[in-house]
Amino acid sequence: MAKQILQLLWNFRVINAVVAIARQESALVLYTWFPYGSPRTCTQLRVTTLNYWVFEDSGRFLLGSSLFPQKIPHDLKGCSIKVSTTEIEPFVILPYNNNPDVTSKDGLEGRLFQSIMKMNLRFQLNLTGNEKWGDKLPNNTWTGIKRNPFNDVSELGFGALLLDTELCEVLECTDPHLKDSLVWHVRRPNQYLSSPAVMAHELSFRGDVLRNSGQKFDSRVGRRARGLTTRTAACISDPTFISDLGHILPAHQRGVPFVLNLINPGFEKQVRTVDELVRSKLDFGCHSGFDRYLNDSTDKILSRRSHCAGVGDDCF
C-alpha cells in the first residue's frame, strides 16, 4: 500500500512524501523513497522505512532521522532525464542543424543546463520545432515546450519561457534568472523638409545686410549665396542664428570659403506612449502569447492586434 501511494504521488512528481501505515495498535511505520540511489534504479521507486511512531508514553519517534531529508543528491549516478527545448538565440543555440541527437548546447540557458549536467546526469533532447514555446488550447492542454512536461513526455523544459501565473499553476517553475520587458516598435516619423521655426535673422555678407523677415532662412540664403564665390567671407552677426545653424564663425575672420551647415530640421510627431498608440489609427502586432498581458478593456489593444509568429519578423 505504501508503494502504491508513493507511486501515485510520483506520477505528479511529488518526491518529498511520507506515508504512515499502522502496525496493529502499537505504532505507525513511516515509509518514503529516494530517487537516484544507484545507476540501476535511478527513478525506479523502491520503498524505504524512514522511522516509527510508537504510541507509548504519549507517543514518540523511535529513531532520530529527519522526516524530510534531502532527496536529490549531488551525484545523480549517470541517470538520464528527458528535456524539451527550442532554439531561440541568445538563450538556446543548437549546433548540428537542430539535430535531436546533439550532446551540447550554447547560449545563456544552454550553459546553465550544462552546469546541471555536471551532476553526473545524462539527457535525451526533444525539440519542439515550429511550435516553440507553445500555447494553452481551449481543452486545457498545451503545445510546444509547455506540452511535454505537462504530458510527462519530458521532465524539464527551457528556452526563454515566460514564468506567468497560468503556467506555474500546472508546472513547477524555477526561480527566474532573467527579467525582461515588452517594448512597442513604431515606424520612424517623417522628417521635415525644412525648419519652419527659424526666421527673421540678420545675415551679413561683405557688408551687405539681408533681412529675413518672415521667410524661411534656407531659401533666402540659398538665393543670395548663388552669386558668391569661394573667396567671399561669411560673417554671422546674430548669436541666435549662430546657434540655430550649429556653426560658429568668428567675426574677425575674412577670406574663408562660404560655408553654412544647416541644422537637422527634425521629425514629425512620433507615437511615444501606450495611450498615444491606442488613440492612433495604427494596427498592433505582437505574438498572441502576450495577449494575457494586454487584455485591458480600457486599452482596446486586442481588438486591433495581429499575430506575429516566431520572433515577429513578419510584423516588422
Q: Using DSSP, state whether 235 is helix, strand or coil.
A: strand
Least confident range from 101-105, 153-157, 265-269: namely: 101-105
pLDDT at 152: 82
Give the span between the Cα atoms of 312 and 97, in whole angstroms. 22
Superfamily of 79-168 according to CATH:
Periplasmic binding protein-like II (3.40.190.10)
Looking at residues 35-54, what average pLDDT do you find? 91
Least confident range from 57-61, 145-149, 196-200: namely: 196-200
pLDDT at 291: 79
- pTM for the model: 0.55
Are 230 and 258 in contact by the 8 Å Cβ rule? The answer is yes
Please indicate whether residue 204 or residue 80 has the higher confidence score (pLDDT): 80
pLDDT band at 64 (very low <50, low <70, confident <90, very high): confident
Question: Over 60: is that where the pLDDT of 119 sits?
Answer: yes
Looking at residues 70-79, what average pLDDT do you find? 90
Least confident range from 56-65, 150-159, 258-267: namely: 258-267
Question: Over 80: is that where the pLDDT of 297 sits?
Answer: no
The radius of gyration of the chain's CA atoms, rounded to the nearest angstrom, is 36
pLDDT band at 241 (very low <50, low <70, confident <90, very high): very low
Give the span between the Cα atoms of 114 and 105, in whole angstroms. 8
The residues spanned by each domain of the chain are 2-61, 79-168, 191-265, 267-316
For residue 75, the one-letter residue type is D
pLDDT band at 102 (very low <50, low <70, confident <90, very high): low
pLDDT band at 89 (very low <50, low <70, confident <90, very high): confident
131 exposure class (CB count in 10 Å sphere: 0-12, 13-18, 19+)? middle
Looking at residues 96-107, what average pLDDT do you find? 60
pLDDT at 206: 40
